[in-house]
Structure 1
């Protein structure tokens, strides 16, 4: 039902903020703090980052999240997903702080852990833990290995 793996992603500070907002909204949906309409509205504001979650549309994201909540996840699995999403969210915040503290970088490449679920509406994944830096891009100069 779920699989875990790591994948490299390259993000800017703007991308990271959108991913963080999207993951936060989906977390709130899974924990019952948002309904379908509120999730849709929240994700519409950051729809350009949905490919990180394997999604191409806001409607697809809402549908996949609803599929998880409505029966794919048992209570214990839901607790696990919430714990993993919290770890991922914390890491996203740390990466945002890194960007803010190091304005010479405009992109970072990170190896990020994901947990992926298959639903009737398609696949969806969440950042599920601590990412590691692969390399950083210095504005106007190129990539620097970390």
Structure 2
């Protein structure tokens, strides 16, 4: 059985970095959780500016696909189903934040508190993130 812990953490990202994080999560969902295709995951996963590697805490970037697939293979089917649902929900929420940033071009960065599921060698965003503040040229603005 896969060992994990759940907790909230704060990330601060630009619009482009948020796009990279969303693309990474989508790749993990499609090729890691649904298709479970290590080769496709390795070839399609998106690291962009490598912010995804930092946010998702890969200890050995070259082996990320194998780490994800082997962890998922070690899960009970009910846990895998639950994780799939949570990652789908997280991806929908990340997409809403991406649209929010696109619709507000004066925001340069966004601070988001997100729930993570942390495994031995990586972590995934598994639920709704909350925007806590945004950064403009004039500084940070708290969100209520």
Question: Is the structural similarity TM-score above 0.5?
Answer: yes
Q: For residue 143 of structure 1, what is the aligned residue in structure 2? A: 140
Unaligned runs of 5+ in 2: none
Contact preservation (8 Å) 2:32, 2:38:
no
Contact preservation (8 Å) 1:29, 1:65:
no
The Cα RMSD (Å) is 1.7
**TM-score with structure 1 length normalisation?**
0.87
Q: How many residues align?
A: 140
Q: Distance in 2 between matches of 1:32 and 1:112?
A: 22
Q: CA deviation at 1:47?
A: 6.2
Q: For residue 86 of structure 2, what is the aligned residue in structure 1? A: 84
Compared CA separation, residues 99 and 59, structure 1 to 2 (3 A)? same
- CA deviations over 1:50-86 (Å, ceiling 9, x no partner): 1111115542321211221322x11011011101101
**TM-score with structure 2 length normalisation?**
0.88
Q: For residue 21 of structure 2, what is the aligned residue in structure 1? A: 19
Q: CA deviation at 1:46?
A: 2.9
Q: Which protein is richer in strand relative to its size?
A: 1
